[in-house]
Amino acid sequence: MNVTESEITTKHRESSPALNVYLRIRPFIGNELERGESQNLIDILDDKHIAVRLPPTINNTLRVLPISYNEYEVTRIFNQECTQQELFEQILQEPTDEIFTGSNWLLCTLGLTNSGKTHTMFGTNDDPGLIPQCLQRIFRNVGSNIDANVVFKPIGLENMIPTIDCDLNMEVAVRNYIFKDDKSRLRLPSIIQRQNQVEDLSVEDERYSIWISFFELYNENILDLLVQPKDMKTRKNLRLMQNDHSTIIKNLIQIPVFDLKEAENIIRFGFANRSTSKTNLNEASSRSHAIICITLITVNEFDEEPTMSHIYVCDLAGNEPSTSGIGKQLTETCNINTSLMTFKDCIRVLNENQTSKKQMLVPYRNSVLTSIFRPFFIGRGRTIICCNINPCATFITQTNDLMKFSALAQKTVIVPNEAKIANSAVIRHQRKSKNKGPKRLGRHSVSKEKNMSRLDQTESMNEILNEKSISYWKFCAKKALDILQKQASNRRNFLIERHQERVQVVEYLLNQREQLEILTDDKQSLTKQNEILSKNLRLEQDKQLRTQQQYNTLVLNESQLRQKLLNVEKDQREQNQLHQEEVQSLRKQLKVIQEQFEHLTDEHMKTMKEIEQTKQNEQEREQYLHDEIQRLKRDLGLELYRKQDAEKKARMFEDKFHHEQTEYQKMQYDFAKIKHELKTIQVKYDALQQEMIDIHQNTKTRTPDVVQTFVDRTSTITMTEEVEPPKTSVRSKRRTNDENENEQEIKKPKLITRSSSNASTYATPRLCQPLDEPDSNKRPKVVMRNESAVSTKQTKTKAQNPKSESQAKPKTTGTRSRTKKETKESSPTPALASVPIQHESHSPIYATIQRDRSLDRASFTTVAVDLSTVQPAPPNDVSNATPKTSTFKRIQSFFRATPTSTSSTRTNRVMQIKSTVVAFGSSTPTNRLPPSVVKIPGPTVVPTATPSMTQKVSTPKSKYNLRTRLFNNPIAKETVEKKTQITKKPSRARK
Ligand SMILES: Nc1ncnc2c1ncn2[C@@H]1O[C@H](COP(=O)(O)OP(=O)(O)OP(=O)(O)O)[C@@H](O)[C@H]1O
């Protein structure tokens, strides 16, 4: 190549477009998402840029490759949502239109197996792929101008020959087989295309014939796919004949088609014959490269030679990531990978040749595939590569390689080499390509050629006859003129018809233009709407993408959760096993326990029977006890009734006792008053005696009678004083008696101690007088009362039972003030509750009222009376209990013996004093007491003897004398008045 040629090539390269490389990413299919193949490793940056994120991997040298993020640029990227129609419009529509201008195109799909190459090329009935849409576009462009005569037949990429010169038997046979059901399509030359239904975009003065060939490269063999099924097994490998100017596949069946349906049927027929098999990754994996060659021959009426253009659509077999198959499949895989490798190498070399000065040899011949593609790589056609991307994360490395290749191919520029084609002289028709401009051909051209050939024959005959004669030339000229005239007239008629047609077409076009304007307006509005919708669509797509990403994340999480679930299930299984073992052991234990339980149940039943028996016995016993209780209750009622009765009686006794006590107190008071009076009287008496002695002394001197009387009396006194010293007077005697009395009173035990059996035996109920006080004169004398003999006996009984006595102690007279309830509630424990009658007593006399249960229930203990005398005496001995009575008598006697003014009276009184003295000296003064006083027991112990005794002894006269004397004596008078007052008081108190 000289300098000029290289410069031209460089200029061409700069002006020429590069390879069109498209990426189409298929959506996830099957269970790919479930397998976690979506990991967002592919990122579409925009329409032309894509990025791949490679996870860390281990290469052959066991080195961990880091995460890499690779960006690539291609012509256009189509995502998962791209439809087949959209893809066709973007990829193949323009090339399809350009083949009508004579351009040759190669479209091949590249990619991993199962990446959607076949789907992209062929599609489905409902969603046709690029090939059906390409055919549809071609036939729409052809319109009604299909060449029914099929004048030329293509031979290889660059050549064509008239059909008249070739054998079409094979094509006819295949058509007959393919369209056996449609007889109208059988006769090949006479087929008339009816394209009224299809939109007609053709140019009127051109006629088109379309030829389709369909073959596969299987294990580096070229195998025709448009053969009858019976010949499939016997089909032979076709020979590829190739030089610098042409590439011809010898004996390749090329079938002319006259409408879209025929084309589709033929494609479908050939596709059915294609080699496919099931692989690990694809149910119907292509095991060969399928190539469809659509040839368009355009015959223009005004052009001398027809033009021919091709579009090669190639569905390459998938690049296998691993050679995992065996035998035939392994061979297929190896051949596929080799051919694809060669294809990529060719592109790489071409790309390198663009920049390097040293041009490397492109390895076209390394595979049949690249040999067939060679015309396109050397500039006789343009190439489109559609790379299908498998989005699975498993094949991300292969996908990355494919993208890398795509980016490289996209930068590869192939300079068109059509000038060379024009200069070549393989076949005449080939040289007349589209660069020479349109030339009318068609039927008229063919007839013209036939006429010309006839003329040539005539001329040759004339020449043979006489080539140099004038007639020969005239004849020739005339003939030529006729022919020219005929041609001119034909041409004129043709032009007139054509003009008329064109007028109609113009009118039609004007109408169409108006409609087009309307449609344009509509289109604009629709475009706006479309833009809005596109925006919305984009937003929706973004949303969908986000959703998809979320979904992918969820799927990933789900897979992780599943893994966890599996682990958990595994753990659970192990636990279940353990549990089962435990359950078995527990069952054994349960059996043992059940046996024990049954045994215990039997025992329980026995025990229950015994319990029932015992219950019955208990019930009987209970019944018996109940009867007993009833009977005891009745007895208790009776006892209670008796008790109430006894209590009533006791209350009566208490009332009586209280009454007697009151009376006794009064008596005591009276007695004290009387004693006091007595002392006063004694004083007066002493005074009187002294006075009387004085008088007596005075009268002694006067009268011997008086002396004699005095002597008598003195003798009497002397008689009396034999016991006592003679100097002691009566008063001293009285004093002595008083002292004795007082001594007796002092010596009286004021307290009845329990230690003293006698004292306790004769304990008096309540009579208590503080006799041990120093001044006994100031105190009332105690009048002791003795109770009945019965009480004495009972007291004795108490003494025998100290416990009952101690219990009886709290029962004092003082308790009478208490309520019945308190009396009942009083505890039986010993408690001293002696209440003094008038003064606080140091010698309490206890009154004990006790219910003696040992005795008759109706009876109560009587009140025991303790006389508490100095000399313990039996209770019946009342002599000691009546000292006061003796004193009383002594006083009475004193008053009786009170000396009067007369001597007789004085003598009587002295006698009485004597008797009184005698009486006081008696050890048994009680004998002289009236029986009412001595009488024991008695309801009252009021010493009623005093007034009676006084009444008995005193005479009215003596009373008078005494009273007179008292009234005469102022001191005695006062004493009497006091006495009267004192005696009146008890009566008031009694009231
Ligand atoms: N764009 C798409 N939309 C929906 N499904 C698709 C798409 N692309 C591919 N497929 C589905 O993917 C599966 C594989 O597709 P296809 O057979 O075309 O892959 P391939 O690249 O031709 O594989 P091989 O190279 O092994 O022949 C098919 O079931 C197909 O329907």
**pLDDT 10s digits, 833-852:** 334 444 433 433 343 334 44
Task: Please tell me whether residues 143 and 277 are part of one structural domain.
Answer: yes
Could you tell me if residue 223 is inside a domain? yes
Is residue 763 in some structural domain?
A: no
Retrieve residue 480's tokens.
């030529």
Q: Same domain for 486 and 360?
A: no
Least confident range from 171-175, 209-213, 450-454, 973-977: namely 450-454
| pLDDT at residue 855 greater than cutoff 60 | no
Please give the average per-residue pLDDT across 692-697, as a whole number. 85
Same domain, 47 and 142: no
pLDDT at 37 over 70: yes
- Number of domains within the chain: 4
**Is 117 annotated as a binding-site member?**
yes
Q: Encode pLDDT of 428-440 as tens digits.
A: 444 333 333 333 3
Are 581 and 500 part of one and the same domain?
yes
114 is in an annotated binding site: yes
- Other beta carbons within 10 angstroms of residue 968's beta carbon come to 9
Question: Does the residue 815 lie in any domain?
Answer: no
Given this model, what pLDDT does residue 554 score? 92
Tell me the pLDDT tens digit for each residue of 167-178: 777 888 888 888
Judge contact between 843 and 749, C-beta under 8 A. yes
Looking at the fold, whether 914 and 899 belong to one and the same domain comes out as yes
Classify residue 974: in a domain, yes or no: no
Give mean pLDDT, residues 372-395.
88
Which atom in ligand 1 lies closest to the alpha carbon of residue 316? 25
pLDDT in tens, 116-161: 888 999 888 888 899 999 999 998 888 888 887 778 888 877 778 8
Query: Ligand 1 center to residue 108 CA distance, Å?
Result: 15
pLDDT in tens, 736-790: 454 554 544 444 444 433 433 343 334 333 433 444 444 444 444 443 444 444 4
DSSP three-state, residue 307: strand
Q: Find out whether 342 is annotated in a ligand binding site.
A: no
pLDDT in tens, 422-468: 433 334 444 333 333 333 333 333 444 444 544 455 555 555 456 56
Please check whether residue 166 lies inside any domain of the structure. yes
885 among the known binding-site residues? no
In the chain, pLDDT over 90 holds for what percent of residues?
19
Model pLDDT, residue 983? 53
With the most atoms of ligand 1 within 8 angstroms of its CB, the residue from 118, 218, 274 to mutate is: 118
**Is residue 225 assigned to a domain?**
yes
- By the 10 Å C-beta count (0-12 exposed, 13-18 middle, 19+ buried), 535 is classed as exposed
Tell me which of 22, 83, 119, 332 to substitute to probe ligand 1's pocket, judged by most ligand atoms within 8 Å of the beta carbon.
119
- CATH number, domain containing residue 139: 3.40.850.10
pLDDT value of residue 648: 93
Residue 65 pairs with which residues in a beta bridge?
57
For every residue of 173-199, DSSP letters joined together read HHHHHHTTT-GGGT-STT-----SSS-
DSSP letter at 146 equals B
Q: Note whether 356 and 326 are same-domain residues.
A: yes
**614 marked as binding residue:** no
Whether residues 293 and 374 fall in one domain = yes
User: Measured from the CA of 84, which atom of ligand 1 is nearest?
Assistant: 1
Q: What is the mean pLDDT of residues 612-620?
A: 94
Structure tokens at 27: 């959506």
Q: Count of CB atoms within 10 A of residue 97's CB?
A: 15
Let me know whether 493 and 408 are in one domain. Answer: no
In a domain, 858, yes or no: no
Task: Show the domain range for 589.
Answer: 468-680
Tell me the CA end-to-end span of the chain in Å, nearest whole number.
Answer: 181
Q: Lowest-confidence range among 379-383, 427-431, 563-567, 641-645? A: 427-431
Least confident of 198-212, 337-351, 598-612: 198-212
Is the pLDDT confidence value at 642 over 60? yes
**3-class SS shares of the chain: helix, strand, coil, % to 5:** 55, 10, 30
Tell me: do 283 and 393 sit in the same domain: no
Residues 188 and 257 in one domain: yes
Confidence category of residue 932, pLDDT binned at 50, 70, 90 = very low
pLDDT at position 13 is 52
Does the complex come out with an ipTM higher than 0.95? yes
**Separation of 129 CA from ligand 1 center, angstroms?**
11
Whether residue 401 lies inside any domain: the answer is yes
pLDDT band at residue 975 under the 50/70/90 scheme: low
Q: What is the pLDDT of residue 366?
A: 86
Residues with CB under 6 A from ligand 1: 26-27, 29, 111, 113-119, 282, 284-286, 317-318, 388
> Distances in Å between the alpha carbon of 734 and those of 718, 748, 781, 890, 894?
15, 20, 17, 9, 10
CA 16 vs. chain centroid, Å, equals 73
pLDDT at 312: 93
Ligand 1 nearest-atom number relative to CA 121: 18
Let me know whether 131 and 227 are in one domain.
yes
Looking at residues 858-867, what average pLDDT do you find?
39
Closest protein CA for atom 8 of ligand 1: 116
- Minimal CA–CA distance to 150: which of 118, 122, 188, 183? 188
For the segment 296-325, what is each residue's pLDDT rounded down to a tens digit?
A: 988 876 666 788 899 999 988 887 766 555
Give 420 or 291, the one with higher predicted confidence. Answer: 291
Of 648, 665, 680, the domain-final residue: 680
Answer for the pair 403, 23: CB distance below 8 angstroms, yes or no: yes
State mean pLDDT over 619-623: 94
For residues 20 and 102, membership in a common domain is answered with: no
Rounded mean pLDDT of the chain?
Answer: 70
Residue to mutate (ligand 1; options 23, 25, 26; most atoms within 8 A of CB): 26
Is 591 annotated as belonging to a binding site? Answer: no
